[in-house]
Amino acid sequence: MSTELKGDERIDQLMQFGLDIIQSPSVFSFSLDAVLLGHFAKVPGHDRAEIVDLCSGNGAVALMLSGQTRSRIKAVEIQERLADMAGRSVEMNGLTEQIDIIHADVNEVHEYIKKDSIDIITCNPPYFTVSDSSRKNPNEHLAIARHELHLTVKELMKATSGLLKTKGKAYFVHRPERFFDILDAMREVNLAPKRIRFVYPKPDREANMLLIEGIKQGKEDGLKILPPLYVFDEEGNYFPEVRRMIYGNEQD
């Protein structure tokens, strides 16, 4: 069965997992932050967990997680066009029995998913605050994905904590400049930060991404700051750890 593509859509590969994904430069294409989140999140291999990917976009993280677990995954996306792209990618990969695409606002997610019922949540949310001076992308699809037009950090953490079971875990990728906003919002809703890793484009550059794990009703102590993750070496090649995330072990 051939997959219907719309507009400027194309089919790309999630190479490590042997999966295909529908992308569009004018609507949404996943990037390295999604790959990093998909590997940072710890999901059980069995089929008994309840997993949710919030702000799922075209479903990249949900597809990556499906290659690491047999459990069901619910992917929540507010934009109808992106949810449609994700749904067609799920069908294309024969994963309709494992991944459910939910077209919904994260602020209304409890209308679709029961509170206190989820074991694992992942989220690659909009990074940028919205103010009179902020430069929003004129493309509506990209603006919603990148700016807090429909979902703030506080709202995200409230929804996440509401969905998780006690001791359930959440994984986020974000920007370092929002670090304190994220920590404050997590602690307000009893999400204890447990693992943090800063990502650097090169060893001599400032960090430009942040990975963070939180546990609902977790203890305040025991926070681990993991070793830095460097993406490119001086020649512009991926460091081995990042290369494995993208291509798998066969590229070593």
Domains and their CATH numbers in the chain: 31-251 (3.40.50.150)
What local confidence, expressed as pLDDT, does residue 57 receive? Answer: 93
- In percent, how much of the chain has pLDDT > 90? 80
pLDDT tens-digit readout, 161-172: 999 999 999 999
Name 191's Cβ contacts closer than 8 Å, sequence gap at least 6. Answer: 157, 160, 161, 164, 170, 214, 215, 216, 218
Among candidate residues 142, 20, 136, the one with its CA nearest the CA of residue 81: 142
pLDDT score at 107? 94
Q: Average pLDDT of the chain?
A: 90
The pair of three-digit structure tokens given for residue 104, joined into one six-digit string: 């919904």
Q: List, for residues 206-230, the tens digit of each pLDDT value.
A: 999 999 999 999 998 889 999 999 9
**With 80 as the cut, is the pLDDT of residue 77 above it?**
yes
Sign (positive/negative) of CA torsion 79, 80, 83, 85?
negative
Please check the confidence at residue 87 and state whether its pLDDT lies above 50.
Answer: yes
Angle between helices 240-247 and 32-40 (to 10 degrees): 90
Q: What is the pTM of this model?
A: 0.91
- C-alpha 175/C-alpha 206 separation (Å) is 11
% of the chain with per-residue pLDDT over 70: 89
Which amino acid is it at 141?
A: H
Cα separation of 12 and 23, whole Å? 7
pLDDT digits (tens, 9 = 90+) for 10-50: 999 998 899 999 999 888 888 899 999 999 999 999 999 99
pLDDT digits over 149-162, tens only? Answer: 568 999 999 999 99
Closest CA to 16 of 36, 43, 46, 44: 36
* pLDDT tier, 251 (very low <50, low <70, confident <90, very high otherwise): very low
Q: Which residue did the predictor score with more confidence, 39 or 144?
A: 39
21 neighbors 63 (Cβ within 8 angstroms): yes
